[in-house]
């Protein structure tokens, strides 16, 4: 589903590469924690998957497409197969929950009847039954993140990318968010989650890929947050 083949990324304004010779393969339906200190290249990794950045060297395959060969006008089609969730939720403050979720479908031109059918379904899925008409500022952080997840998942993407989704949320609420992500993963969606949250990584025991200074220093199935080089 996601293949990084010896990928190096150098941002022109800084000498040190953000990623250096990264080889990672994530298969369909996997759940992967991406861990590592700030500046280790986690965000670059996610941005490369979305083709928001181009690798300086190496090849990337996402959802069966070779990104280097993907023309600019086909990028939107790639992104329709990938959902994104962020630490800061990125909801539209002037739209209610239903409208925020529907927005993701409206802007890719889905018919209104389809939107009316799937939006309530996905809102139920993330556990926000009956809160469709709330505005984002009337919701707690955890609920806002659920809305963001609903928006990312409403178009049934093959891949869900989450960049520190529990970064702004207290530990108890984080568990709830993780359960939603797990539920989405069980539908067959590949989930890649970058995180600093040791407790969550340790509790969920999924595959862990650890980055340090742009290199993969650990790739462990059923891993823990731990330390580099095998840890624990």
Partner 1 sequence: MRAQFVLQEIWIGLRRNLTMTIALVVTVAIAMALFGTGVLLKMQVDKSNNYWSDKVEVSVYLCNKLSANPACQKKEPSQSDKDAIKNQLQSMPQVASVAAETQAQAYQRAKDRFKDTPGFSDTIQLGDIPDSFRVKLKDPKQYAAVVAQMQGRQGVDQVINERAILEKFFKILGGLQWAALIIAAIQVVAAVLLVANTIRLSAFNRRRETGIMRLVGASNLYIQLPFVLEGAIAGLIGGIFAAVLLGFSKVFLLGRLTRNLQFATELGWLDVTQVIVFSVCFGVVLCSLASFLTLRRYLKI
Helix or strand or coil: residue 54? coil
> With respect to partner 1, which residue has the nearer C-beta, 77 or 179?
77
- Minimum distance from CB of 60 to partner 1 (Å)? 17
Q: Which is nearer to partner 1, 9 or 218 (CB)?
A: 9
Query: What residue ranges bind partner 1 (CB under 8 A)?
Result: 50, 72-73, 75-84, 90, 92, 103-104, 106-109, 112, 151-152, 155
Provide the minimum distance between the beta carbon of 119 and partner 1 in the complex, in angstroms, as a whole number: 14
What is the smallest separation between the CB atom of 171 and partner 1, expressed in angstroms?
A: 27
Residue 51 to residue 19: CA distance in whole angstroms: 15
Q: Are strands 31-35 and 190-194 parallel, antiparallel or unpaired?
A: parallel
Of 90 and 116, nearer to partner 1 (C-beta) is 90
Contacts of 207 (CB under 8 A, 6+ apart): 30, 31, 32, 33, 219, 220, 221, 222, 223
Region of residue 224 (left: phi > 0; alpha: psi -120 to 50; beta: else):
beta
Count the neighbouring beta carbons within 10 Å of the beta carbon of residue 7.
24
Q: Closer to partner 1 at the Cβ: 34 or 49?
A: 49
Determine how β-strand 159-163 pairs with β-strand 19-26. unpaired
CB of 184 to partner 1, least distance (A): 16
Asked if 152 and 83 touch (Cβ cutoff 8 Å), the reply is yes
What is d(CA 28, CA 168) in angstroms, rounded to the nearest whole number? Answer: 28
Considering the complex, what minimum distance in angstroms separates the CB of residue 106 from partner 1?
5
In the complex with partner 1, which residue's Cβ is closer, 107 or 232?
A: 107
Please report the beta strands in 104-220, taking only residues with DSSP state E, as ranges in sequence order: 159-163, 190-194, 207-212, 215-220
- Give the whole-angstrom CA distance, residue 80 versus residue 159: 10
Residue number, 110 or 183, with CB nearest to partner 1 = 110
Is the Cβ of residue 104 or residue 194 nearer to partner 1 in the bound state? 104
Q: How far is the CB of 107 from partner 1 (least distance, A)?
A: 4
Smallest gap from residue 104 Cβ to partner 1 (A): 4
């Amino acid at each position: 589903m996601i293949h990084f083949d010896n990928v190096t990324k150098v941002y022109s304004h800084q000498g040190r590469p953000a990623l250096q010779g990264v080889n990672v393969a994530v298969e369909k339906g996997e759940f992967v924690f991406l861990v590592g200190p700030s500046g280790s290249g986690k965000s670059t990794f996610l941005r490369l998957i979305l083709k928001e950045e181009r690798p300086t060297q190496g090849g990337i395959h996402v959802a069966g497409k070779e990104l280097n060969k993907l023309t600019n006008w086909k990028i939107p089609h790639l992104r329709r197969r990938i959902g994104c969730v962020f630490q800061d939720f990125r909801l539209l403050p002037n739209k209610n929950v239903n409208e925020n979720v529907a927005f993701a479908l409206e802007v890719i031109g889905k018919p209104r009847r389809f939107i009316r059918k799937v939006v309530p379904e996905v809102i139920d899925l993330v556990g926000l039954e009956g809160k469709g008409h709330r505005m984002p500022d009337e919701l707690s952080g955890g609920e806002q993140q659920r809305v963001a997840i609903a928006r990312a998942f409403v178009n049934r993407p093959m891949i869900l990318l989450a960049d520190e989704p529990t970064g702004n949320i207290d530990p108890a609420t984080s568990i709830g968010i993780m359960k939603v992500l797990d539920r989405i993963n069980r539908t067959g969606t590949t989930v890649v989650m970058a995180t600093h949250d040791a407790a969550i990584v340790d509790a969920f025991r999924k595959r862990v890929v650890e980055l340090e200074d742009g290199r993969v220093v650990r790739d462990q199935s059923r891993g823990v947050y731990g330390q580099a080089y095998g840890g624990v």
